[in-house]
C-alpha cells in the first residue's frame, strides 16, 4: 500500500499519550506528513510539541493546512478517536471539508468511513478514496499454528499494559537489527503500524474466532525471506478489555522470543475504569507470557529475552535507574529504546536467533 502525503487531524489531542496514530506517524514517517491540525498548539512545530518530526507545522484548521507550501497534501489522516473507536462528532465536519478539498481520508477507527452514506456519496462525487485501516480482509482462517513453520526467527512484543510502546519497540529493534546486518521485518497488527509500514492487518478489528488466524497470516507474509520477523503486539494479558486480542496474537504469531514492554511510571491498567488491576512487575509479566505460550506451544520454550521501557514521563536519571533495576531484577537486557537506544535488545534478539538456528 503506497502512502500519500498526509495532513494529520489531531485536534485537542496532539500528545504522545493521547494520539498514538498521530505521534507515531510523525515519528516514523515524517517525510509524508505536511501538517498537523491541533488548534491548541497552532504556530508550533511537531518537534516543539512531541520532540520528533522536525519542522512539521502545527496549524489550527484544515484551511491552514492546505495553505502550507512544504508539500501538497493528498490525504487527511484521522488521528483522534473515542474509546471504542468512534469518530468524535465534533470532528465529522473536518472529514467533509477534506473530501470537498479533494483529499482522500484515512481512518483507523472501528467506526468505518464507508458506513457513512453522506461521506461516501461526497467522496464518490469528488473522486477521492475513503481508506478504513481497520477493515480486515474477509477471508481470514481459524489459526492452526502455521506460523510455526517460518524459517525466520519470530519475535513478538508483549506488554504489562496497552499503550506502553510495543509498536515503537518493534520498529526500533528492526532498525537496530538492520544496522547489525540482520534482515529484520515488521509485521503490523494495528492501524498506526499499518500506516507506517504500508501493510498489515488490524487484528483488534478481526472477528475473535479469526484473531490467531489473522496474526498467522501477517506473520507468514512478513517472515518470507527474512532472518527475523518482529510482530507488533497488542493489548496485555492483564487488561480486562483487550486480553483476548493479546492471547490471539501470542498463539497466532507463535514467537520464539518475546520483548516485554512496560511503563515504569504507570500503576494501574490504562484508561479509566480499571483501577482494581495493578500493573504487574516485569518479572510477574514475564512469567505470565511464558506460561501462556506453554499452553499452546510447549515445544517452543518461548522466552522473554529483553525489557523495553517507555519512560517519557520520568526525569532522565530516574528513568535510567528504573531501567537498570528492572534489568538486574530479571537478568535481562533492559532499555528505553527511544531514550537510550535499542542496541541491547537487538543484540539479545540476534543472540537468541543464532542459538535457535544452531539448535
Residue with cell 499452546: 296
* CB proximity list for 18: less than 8 A, separation 6 or greater: none
Q: Given the rule CB under 8 A, which residues bind a copy of itself?
A: 83-85, 110, 141-145, 148, 203-209, 211-213, 237-248, 250-252, 254, 273-274, 276-278, 280, 288, 291-292, 295-299
Q: Which is nearer to a copy of itself, 250 or 305 (CB)?
A: 250
| Least distance from a copy of itself to the Cβ atom of residue 200, Å | 15
Cα R_g (the chain), whole angstroms:
20
What is the C-alpha to C-alpha distance for residues 154 and 230, in angstroms, rounded to an integer?
A: 6
Q: Which is nearer to a copy of itself, 263 or 292 (CB)?
A: 292
User: Of 233, 133, 231, 171, which is closest to residue 27 (Cα–Cα)?
Assistant: 171
Report whether 68 contacts 34 (CB < 8 A).
yes
| Least distance from a copy of itself to the Cβ atom of residue 217, Å | 13
Q: Which is nearer to a copy of itself, 236 or 330 (CB)?
A: 236
| Least distance from a copy of itself to the Cβ atom of residue 146, Å | 9
| Least distance from a copy of itself to the Cβ atom of residue 25, Å | 21
Q: Which is nearer to a copy of itself, 6 or 262 (CB)?
A: 262
- Could you give the C-alpha distances from 242 to 160, 170, 235, 237, 238, in angstroms and in order? 12, 19, 5, 8, 8
| Least distance from a copy of itself to the Cβ atom of residue 143, Å | 5
| Least distance from a copy of itself to the Cβ atom of residue 76, Å | 24
Calculate the CA 43 to chain-centre distance: 28
Q: How does DSSP assign 136-195, residue by residue?
A: --S-PPPP-SGGGG-SSEEEEEEESSSSSSHHHHHHHHHHHHHHTT--EEEE--SHHHHH
Q: Which is nearer to a copy of itself, 170 or 215 (CB)?
A: 215
Residue with cell 495493578: 278
Number of Cα atoms under 13 Å in the Cβ half of residue 224: 6
| Least distance from a copy of itself to the Cβ atom of residue 12, Å | 21
Degrees to nearest 5, angle at CA 183 with 179 and 189 = 105
Q: Which is nearer to a copy of itself, 46 or 246 (CB)?
A: 246
Q: Which is nearer to a copy of itself, 110 or 339 (CB)?
A: 110
Amino acid at each position: 500500500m503506497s502512502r500519500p502525503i498526509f495532513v494529520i487531524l489531531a485536534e485537542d489531542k496532539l500528545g504522545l499519550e493521547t494520539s498514538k496514530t498521530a505521534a507515531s506517524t510523525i515519528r516514523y514517517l515524517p517525510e509524508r506528513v505536511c501538517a498537523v491540525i491541533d488548534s491548541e498548539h497552532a504556530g508550533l512545530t511537531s518537534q516543539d510539541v512531541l520532540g520528533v518530526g522536525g519542522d512539521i507545522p502545527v496549524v489550527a484548521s484544515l484551511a491552514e493546512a492546505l495553505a502550507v507550501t512544504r508539500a501538497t497534501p493528498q490525504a487527511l489522516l484521522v488521528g483522534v478517536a473515542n474509546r471504542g473507536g468512534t469518530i468524535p462528532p465534533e470532528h465529522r465536519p473536518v472529514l467533509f471539508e477534506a473530501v470537498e478539498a479533494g483529499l482522500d481520508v484515512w481512518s483507523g477507527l472501528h467506526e468505518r468511513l464507508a458506513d457513512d452514506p453522506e461521506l461516501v456519496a461526497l467522496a464518490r462525487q469528488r473522486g477521492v478514496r475513503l481508506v478504513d485501516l481497520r477493515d480486515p480482509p474477509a477471508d481470514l482462517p481459524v489459526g492452526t499454528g502455521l506460523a510455526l513453520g517460518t524459517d525466520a526467527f519470530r519475535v513478538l512484543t508483549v506488554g504489562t499494559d496497552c499503550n506502553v510502546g510495543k509498536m515503537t519497540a518493534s520498529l526500533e529493534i528492526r532498525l537496530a537489527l538492520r544496522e547489525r546486518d540482520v534482515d529484520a521485518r515488521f509485521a503490523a497488527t494495528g492501524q498506526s503500524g499499518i500506516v507506517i509500514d504500508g501493510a498489515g492487518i488490524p487484528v483488534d478489528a478481526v472477528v475473535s474466532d479469526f484473531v490467531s488466524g489473522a496474526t498467522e497470516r501477517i506473520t507468514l507474509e512478513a517472515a518470507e525471506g527474512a532472518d527475523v520477523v518482529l510482530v507488533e503486539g497488542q493489548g496485555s494479558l492483564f487488561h480486562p478489555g483487550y486480553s483476548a486480542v493479546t492471547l490471539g496474537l501470542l498463539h497466532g504469531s507463535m514467537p520464539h522470543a518475546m520483548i516485554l514492554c512496560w511503563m515504569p511510571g504507570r500503576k494501574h491498567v490504562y484508561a479509566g475504569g480499571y483501577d482494581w488491576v495493578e500493573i504487574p512487575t516485569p518479572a510477574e509479566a514475564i512469567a505470565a507470557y511464558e506460561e501462556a505460550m506453554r499452553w499452546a506451544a510447549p515445544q517452543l520454550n518461548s522466552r522473554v529475552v529483553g525489557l523495553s521501557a517507555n519512560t517519557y514521563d520520568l526525569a532522565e536519571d530516574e528513568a535510567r535507574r528504573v531501567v537498570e533495576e528492572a534489568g538486574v531484577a530479571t537478568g535481562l537486557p533492559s532499555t528505553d529504546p527511544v531514550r537510550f537506544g535499542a542496541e541491547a535488545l537487538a543484540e539479545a534478539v540476534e543472540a537468541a536467533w543464532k542459538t535457535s538456528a544452531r539448535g
